[in-house]
Amino acid sequence: MIKTLKAVSVLLALFCVAGGAFAGGDAKLGAGKSELCQGCHGVDGMSVNPECPNLAGQKPGYIFKQVKDFQHGKRNNDTMSAMAGLAGSDQDLKDISAYYASQKTMQGSRYMMGAPTDKKKIKAGKKIYLNGDPRTGLYGCVNCHGKNGKGKSETNQIFPVIGGQTKDYLVKQLKDFRKADRTNDPANMMMDIAKKLTDEQIDQLGEYLGSRE
């Protein structure tokens, strides 16, 4: 818990810099440039494939960073690693990020097949999300990702919107962080958190967050 709190403190200390660092994206231009992305992430940022993340209403700086990480090999996925190289210039990527960020914030995956419907799991996931698990020193997700996973503030580009994200994608990312198959999180904070989660807790969190609107 102490290690995680220190990591959060460091990130929040950098918040003013990171929050204001992303600028210059043109959402109108990004609408046309996003055609390359729409086959997986949807025209409005609502994915047509539960294994692909929703981007609607996501922080533009976060989208930009993730694609750059794919380009530089800091994050790996066969499809995205290839597609990231076709994203164009940094300005093109900023425009695409601004476009998806301008869309109505992602709505729960109940709008998709395989929607979260287990009320017991949703309740259990909410408890973990809000309170963490004192027995293992697990930090409550709400402290970084905000109420219902919709983000702490409009300007915070560090912590992504996860409420309304697809369950399949959330579960995979948490397991990848836990196995250190994904290592591009600041200060290894998500890796530290994911290692404290059981498969059952990950499933419950996915159920809860995937149901947020």
**Are 113 and 205 in the same domain?**
yes
Q: What gap in Å lies between CA 10 and CA 189, rounded to an integer?
A: 11
**Are 29 and 65 in the same domain?**
yes
**Are 6 and 42 in the same domain?**
no
**Are 138 and 197 in the same domain?**
yes
24 SS3 class:
coil
Give pTM, 2 decimals.
0.88
**Are 114 and 202 in the same domain?**
yes
**Are 191 and 125 in the same domain?**
yes
CATH number, domain containing residue 59: 1.10.760.10
Chosen domain end from 61, 80, 101: 101
Determine the pLDDT at residue 48.
85
Q: What gap in Å lies between CA 30 and CA 25, rounded to an integer?
A: 8
Q: Structural domain tally of the chain? A: 2
Chosen domain end from 82, 101, 120: 101
**Are 91 and 113 in the same domain?**
no
**Are 188 and 113 in the same domain?**
yes
Determine the pLDDT at residue 33.
97
Is residue 1 pLDDT above 90, yes or no? no
Tell me: the pLDDT tens digits for 116-131? 678 999 999 999 999 9
Is residue 5 pLDDT above 60, yes or no? no
> Structure tokens of 121?
């799991």
- Average pLDDT, rounded, for the chain: 89
**Are 115 and 171 in the same domain?**
yes
Chosen domain end from 80, 101, 122: 101
Range of the structural domain that residue 174 is part of: 2-16+109-210
Tell me: the pLDDT tens digits for 156-210? 999 999 999 999 999 999 999 999 999 999 999 999 999 999 999 999 999 999 9
**Are 31 and 86 in the same domain?**
yes
Tell me: the pLDDT tens digits for 15-54? 444 444 566 799 999 999 999 999 999 999 999 899 999 9
Q: What single-letter amino acid sits at 173?
A: Q
